[in-house]
């Protein structure tokens, strides 16, 4: 049954970090702006403490989450169990983006595996944790991770990724600044 907590209970830490997929949800302050939900994979999520988590943000086709965090900081991260034990966990709070040239990035970066497409680390200050049953979520087996994003970023190389981000990740679809200077 559904439960709510003020912090991440110890019994959920390992479960959260072992999930192969999670979703991040953000929205701009402007009510006409687009709500964004992004799936995240790979081994990119870490629990930093009872009220703080982080994930490695990889270069992608957009930068909605970064733009929304700059706009208002609201962030929800959701995990679903797809194995035999149903479970859904949502982490609510205020998020921030730490870019590679900002203080704290290097220390946090050490907690993650090297990935060619790393563009930032997103940190969530957790204010509420909720669990629910997940009875309607289907059971599925993980076949494997897709190497596509890692391969693409590796082929591009660091300099081309900087150019790509400048062209594709400067602002959100609602024209909010994301990685624009």
Note the pLDDT tens digit of each residue in 134-147: 999 999 999 999 99
Predicted pLDDT of residue 83: 93
Strands 22-26 and 74-80 turn out to be antiparallel
Predicted pLDDT of residue 136: 94
pLDDT band of 180, cuts 50, 70, 90? confident
Predicted pLDDT of residue 181: 63
Predicted pLDDT of residue 175: 96
Give domain 3-168's CATH number out of 3.90.420.10, 1.10.3720.10, 3.20.20.70, 2.30.110.10.
2.30.110.10
Mean pLDDT value across residues 117-146: 96
* Assigned token pair, 167: 């062209």
Question: Is 121's pLDDT higher than 70?
Answer: yes
Where helices occur in the chain by DSSP H, the ranges are 10-18, 64-71, 105-109, 148-168
* Assigned token pair, 153: 């970023």
Pick the closest to residue 58 from 10, 119, 143, 127 (CA basis). 119
What average pLDDT does the chain have? Answer: 96
Mean pLDDT value across residues 139-168: 95
Percent of the chain with pLDDT over 70: 99
Mean pLDDT value across residues 36-58: 98
Name the pTM for this structure.
0.96
Cβ contact 91:129 at 8 Å:
yes
Predicted pLDDT of residue 5: 98
Q: Where are the domains of the chain?
A: 3-168
């Amino acid at each position: 049954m559904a439960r709510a907590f003020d912090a991440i209970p110890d019994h959920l830490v390992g479960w959260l970090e072992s999930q192969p997929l999670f979703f991040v949800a953000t929205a701009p302050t402007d009510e006409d702006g687009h709500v964004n939900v992004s799936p995240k994979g790979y081994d990119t999520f870490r629990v930093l403490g009872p009220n703080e988590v982080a994930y490695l943000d990889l270069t992608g086709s957009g930068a909605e989450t970064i733009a929304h965090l700059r706009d208002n900081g609201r962030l929800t991260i959701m995990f679903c169990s797809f194995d035999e034990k149903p479970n859904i966990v949502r982490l609510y709070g205020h998020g921030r983006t730490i870019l590679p040239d900002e203080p704290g990035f290097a220390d946090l970066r050490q907690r993650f595996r090297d990935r060619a497409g790393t563009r930032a680390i997103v940190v969530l200050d957790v204010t509420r944790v909720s669990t629910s049953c997940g009875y309607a979520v289907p059971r599925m087996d993980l076949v494997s991770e897709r190497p596509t994003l890692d391969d693409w970023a590796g082929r591009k190389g660091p300099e081309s990724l900087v150019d790509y981000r400048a062209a594709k990740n400067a602002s959100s679809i609602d024209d909010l600044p994301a990685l624009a200077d």
